[in-house]
Each structure stands twice: as structure tokens, then as C-alpha cells.
Structure 1
């Protein structure tokens, strides 16, 4: 059942608010949304007007709409992007942030053919490389200085500030080769000129993770913060871990960015145990990570829950924290007069075994599963993504420690 075009009032009955900030009671409540898509009332035993639609949440949770801070949805414009609807509203995600699929040379097509027609809100980090991820790792967007046009990049941002919310640079050896840290320095300079945050993909060196952190400042984003790559993960080097912790305390935002090669259960678990939580949870969904190992936002959130991240922190890192990065309002999201934008979801017991980007397996004892997405007066039935076939990488977790090598 999906209520899309009906503009009659909508009553969400018996949902438990979470992730709305201080002062919002967490016991089950009713939310009445008017035909104009704005919250009309919040309280217990609300009476719906005649002709109103009704969703009985039956004690499920309701949060601000989920925000995926790192995905790739320039479908048809790059060789790795997926369609927004695959990872958007039908998965509980109301806002998708594309992390550098487009550069200045092809952003106009991304905007016209993908962003503007989408039902989801789509924002973007603009790739510092002019061609973006047209052929991803097959043709690097950062071969040398000819790959970057600073003047055109600045002009592209100025013409699209309603959508472009930052600059993206991939800082790993397979992209920059011997160019090392230089593209990060250029991207940071451009971001400073534009007064926008910089998102940096970290991976195998060069450059090394430490070099990247030393360039960044408050408000910038490090994505793939829990990657398990040799010479690039924060748990194999105590000095790097301490540096990452200081940077996080100083306002540099650590983003999960799961992806096909950039999330390790072990790294995440050890970091969380030591008190280093990610600022934001994101999927890095693309054509090569969708069916393995990521699937969707809810499953990614469940993975962080499974390694010990507190439930409320998981929800905040999937809603208000990324909303802050992209400049969306984060207060009074459940107040009368505010446009409704929610994800209704359940947290269910689970025996699902699933893999990380390194091919290691873990058991998810609890699974976060979206059931409705609310956008204004629209209510769309939501669910987790189901891969087309059971992955060969799926297997049972070790009953003693939960970790096995599934490769």
C-alpha cells in the first residue's frame, strides 16, 4: 500500500519518536499531517479528520528521514552509479548525497536528467576532477593538473549552490598515483574559496591517511573512516588513531562510506570500543557494492549497531548529523507547522549473517528495517533491499566470536 498522490490528511498512529533531539518524548505517539504536507498535531489519541488516511505504526519507531551522505546516483553518466529509486524513498532514505560522481564538465547532465526528476532530495559533492567518475577506476579523474579546472569548478558551484554542498576528492594510490597529496591540497583550497566542506575518500596510499587529516579542518568529511586496507586503517597505527580522535574532537567529521572495499567490522568494532564513533553513517552504494556487500541504508545502520554503536547514536548519525553537513534544518522536526519528512522503521531480532568490504562475516542480532517513508503528504511503503540471489559470500558467523573469513 502506497499513498502517493492523495493529499488528504495522514495520521501516523502509535509511533515512537527517536532522533529528533532533546525535549521530544520517546513514548509512542500520534502524528497528524495535513493535506499541505505539514505537521498539524502531535499527541496521544489524536482524532483524524474525516477522510484522513491512517498508518498504524504499532509501536514502530519514527525518525527524521534518513540521509545517505555518500552514494552514487549519476545513473548513465558514470559506469558505477545506480538509479536513485534503488536506494532512496523505497529504502527509507529521503535525502541522497551523491559523493563526487559528477565533475564540473558533466554536472549539468546530472542535474537535468537525475536530480531534478527524482522524488528524493538529492544533493551533491562536486568532484574536483572535471570528468568525475565517468569510468571510475578505469580512467582516473586525477591523472595530473590537466584533470582539474579550478575556474570552471568554481563557476559550476556558484551556478548550482542549491544542490552542490561541498567538494569531493579521492585520495588513494589507484586514483592519484605518484601525484600524492597534491589533489587534496588543491581541493581544500577550492573548498575554502567557496566556503564549503571538503569530503575526502581515503584508501590505499599514497597519500597516507595522516597526511589527509593534517590538511582538513572543522566541517570537512573523511569518508571510509573504518576501512580495513593495509597502511590505511586507523586501528593498525596508534599514532593515526590518536590523530583521528583529535581531529574528530576538533570537528572533522568521520563518515562510514561502507562501499565495496571500505568498511571493516573489526576496525569499526575496535574504534567504537575505544569511544571513537562515526559522525555519520553512509552506504557508498553503487553498482559494484549494491548486491555485495552493502545492500541498503538500513542494513548499513544495522552493522554499526552490531559492533556496539548505541542505538540513538546510530539514528542520529543517519539523520540529523548528515543533515547538518548539507545545511538542512535539524531542529523542531516534529513540531506543528514543519513539513513532514520521516522514516518509520522497526528494529527486529535477526539471525542474518552478512559480510563487510573485506569479505569477513558477522551476525546481525538486530536488524533496522524501514516500513514507511513520509515526504509531506506522501506515504510510501518501504523495505530493505533484497539482492537478486543469495551471495556466495554469505555464510554463518562463528558461534563463539562472530568473525569468520568468508573469502
Structure 2
């Protein structure tokens, strides 16, 4: 592997509080030097012109669905969402379970060029077809001991647990499933990532009466510091914003108790909801793209279901093109500072997975995971899943990334095309 000199880009690394124009010298899979002008010490290194570009620690997508094949249409190809989209690390959210984790390791994590980690599903069946069959997720379909054992025996791969708190589940089983899932998190001593918003339709018959505004506080009471609340910008009821259009009053208390907030972008994202949450002073910690086979333009595998609630709710009917970097652009369009957006997908994401100082940082002697982004100025239109349009004057797009020093150009077929305003 040749030496590479990333020349003259704007290096932003929140972990080291570095923000300026620097050179980055890569030697094999390691960062050899970071400095103002390293040309004299680069020797025969390949020089890569990064002027006008952002040079960032390798991006970490905290919400991926990449158990390709096993989860049916739901799981996408890891490298398509990862290195070929400018992202060096993916965290699969709830695809593998204690039963299917060995297959996830052998057929996804090990062969992928992208670093792939997982938040293990609290449910025995994992993320089959994106939880298309809700009866597989009832309380009897969780096993505390088996899931804790699996997680603790695979800590190189498993960085947390995934569970769901939404109207469809609460209408069927009340708090039982969530109580078991949070017990798994405590016994495994790992963070639990909680999905809020719509997942399953509410059952028509025999359902418990559920007030969506009561879900958030019931779930928060079960959680421990470091657990993660997902989809703060979802337009669906049962999460951060109440039916009256105001921030749930317990959100500030949840933050004060040490809970973290992840923007699982995907089919849940609403500019209007985001405005409510941000204007109330709530700033999310991390950002995941939440791409899967029912909200992207990827052709479905033959024989998988034609319909999925997530696709039905998605105004583009599965025809979207997006990724983590375009999700970053949407955060900028909402007015979040670039420095915070970069922290969401680098330092903060590394903290979430317990790998701070190892990932999400550019440091001499550290792994050469680097993401290089184009940073264009102009006027472009962004649309959310409600059809709301927002005009942004800044558009980020991936150029290439280095994963342990190996270069991968951003050529994923699901990368979005900027639409001029």
C-alpha cells in the first residue's frame, strides 16, 4: 500500500479541536503526520489534491441496515452504504440477533471493506424484513440470557442493543417488550438504542388503548445513562413531539439524566418536526442515515414482500437516493453549525459505540480512516418525507474515503443528485 499525502484540505477533527488547512500523510494503514506543509517529508508519497475539500475523520453511520440477504429486502450492501458512500464505519441497528450474529460476522462484517459493527437486536429473530411481521416481536420472542451471552461474547462486534418503543408495539403488549429489552441492556452493560415513531400499524382488534404522548415518559423511566433515543425529528406521534405540536416536556429531563439523541434520518425525517425540536433548544448528539431496502432506490430481491409500512408512509415509495453525507447536508440546512455536524458523525458517534480515541479521530499513529467531502456553495432544494422543501446554500457530497489507508471512491448508486433551486 503506497504512502499518500492528502494535500491542502480543510481538516476538521473535533476530538483534537483541529480546524484549518493542513496536510495529512498516510503511511500504509496509519496516519504518519498532520501538519501545515508536509511536502518535504512526504518522499515518494502519492499526492492527492484536497484543496477546497473537507478532510474529516472517517465518518461513522450510527444507524445502518446491512444484514444483506438474511433480513430480506431490508438489508442493503454494506460497502454500497459504507466506503462507496464516503463512510468508513457502519453500525447495523438490530439486524442480527443472538441467533444470527455468527452469520452476520461471517457474511457481512468480515468480507466488507467497510468496518461493520452492530447493535444486537433484543428480539430473537432480529430485523427480518424490517419487522414486517409484528407477532415475531412479542414478549415471548425475547430471551434475556441468550442475548446477554451473545453480546458479551462478541464485544469486538456488538456495541449495543436495539429495541422499539412505538404505538404499534405498545398497543399490542404495553411496556413488556421494552422492559425486557432494557433489562438486557443493563445485564450486558451496553447502551440500548430505542426506536421511536411508527414501525408497525396499530392492531385493529384487541388492542390496548394508547395515548402516543405517554410513550416517551414510560420508556425514559426504564433507561440508563448512555442509552440512545432515536428519531427525534420523526413526524410520527409517540416520540419527541406531542400531538399538540410541542416538544414533549420530559425531553430536557431525559437529556439531563444522561440519555443521548440520534437522528436516525431515513423515512422518519421531517423538517417541520426538526424545527420544533431544535427551536426548543434540543441538539442531537449523533446522526445515522437509516437507509434500508424499503426507502431507497435499490431493486428488491425477487420474492420479497411488495409492501412495507415504511414504504407506504414514504412519499417517494422507495425511490429515494441518499446517504450519511446528504443527511449531514440536511442538518446544515436546518442551521446546525458545520463543526457540530462533523462531531455528530465522528467524535460523538465514536463515543456512542465506546470507541472514542480509536475511531472518529485523526491522530498520528492512529488508523487511517479518512473521509474527504466536496463542499459546494449555491442554492439547492431538499425535500423530506412529507414533501416539505427547504433551500440550502451548502451541499456536501462524498469524494472518496480511506479505510485503513485503502482508497475507495464515492461511486455508490444511491448517492443523491443535487437539485438546483
TM-score band w.r.t. shorter chain: 0.7 to 0.9
Equivalent residue, structure 1, for 2:60: 67
Equivalent residue, structure 1, for 2:177: 183
Name the CA shift for 1:395/1:11 in 2 (closer, same or farther; >3 Å). closer
1:320 aligns with 2:347: yes
Equivalent residue, structure 2, for 1:349: 377
SS at match of 1:81: coil
Deviation digits for residues 144-169 of structure 1, max 9, x if unmatched? 33211222212211221110111111
Conservation of the 8 A alpha-carbon contact between 1:137 and 1:175:
no
Number of aligned positions between the proteins: 384
Equivalent residue, structure 1, for 2:187: 193
For residues 3-22 of structure 1, what are the structure 2 equivalents within 5 Å? 7-22=1-16
Conservation of the 8 A alpha-carbon contact between 1:64 and 1:341:
yes
Equivalent residue, structure 1, for 2:325: 298
Deviation digits for residues 111-165 of structure 1, max 9, x if unmatched? 1111111111111111111001213332126543321122221221122111011
Larger mean Cα displacement after TM superposition, 44-53 or 212-221: 44-53
Equivalent residue, structure 1, for 2:282: 276
Conservation of the 8 A alpha-carbon contact between 1:283 and 1:294:
no
SS at match of 1:28: strand
Larger mean Cα displacement after TM superposition, 151-160 or 88-97: 151-160
Deviation at 1:308, TM superposition (A): 1.2
- RMSD over aligned Cα, in angstroms? 2.5
Deviation at 1:315, TM superposition (A): 0.7
CA distance in 1, matches of 2:276, 2:293: 29
CA distance in 2, matches of 1:8, 1:143: 49
CA distance in 2, matches of 1:62, 1:174: 42
SS at match of 1:112: helix
1:267 to 273, 278, 291: 273
Equivalent residue, structure 2, for 1:58: 51
CA distance in 1, matches of 2:114, 2:175: 35
Deviation at 1:321, TM superposition (A): 0.6
1:285 to 273, 282, 291: 291
1:362 to 390, 407, 412: 390
Equivalent residue, structure 1, for 2:201: none
1:258 aligns with 2:286: no
Equivalent residue, structure 1, for 2:228: 221
SS at match of 1:351: strand
1:151 to 130, 145, 154: 145
CA distance in 1, matches of 2:353, 2:5: 29
Deviation at 1:341, TM superposition (A): 1.3
Which of structure 1's runs of 4+ aligned residues deviate more than 6 A? 394-397
Name the CA shift for 1:135/1:61 in 2 (closer, same or farther; >3 Å). closer
SS at match of 1:269: helix
TM-score of the superposition, structure 2-length normalised?
0.84
Gaps of 5+ in 2: 199-209, 298-318
Larger mean Cα displacement after TM superposition, 347-356 or 195-204: 347-356
Deviation at 1:229, TM superposition (A): 1.1
Equivalent residue, structure 2, for 1:210: 217
Conservation of the 8 A alpha-carbon contact between 2:63 and 2:289:
yes
1:44 aligns with 2:36: yes
Deviation at 1:387, TM superposition (A): 6.2
Deviation digits for residues 156-196 of structure 1, max 9, x if unmatched? 11221110111111122334542022111111111101110
Gaps of 5+ in 1: 1-6, 398-407
CA distance in 2, matches of 1:101, 1:232: 22
Equivalent residue, structure 2, for 1:136: 130
TM-score of the superposition, structure 1-length normalised?
0.87
Equivalent residue, structure 2, for 1:3: none
Name the CA shift for 1:43/1:288 in 2 (closer, same or farther; >3 Å). same
Name the CA shift for 1:240/1:141 in 2 (closer, same or farther; >3 Å). farther
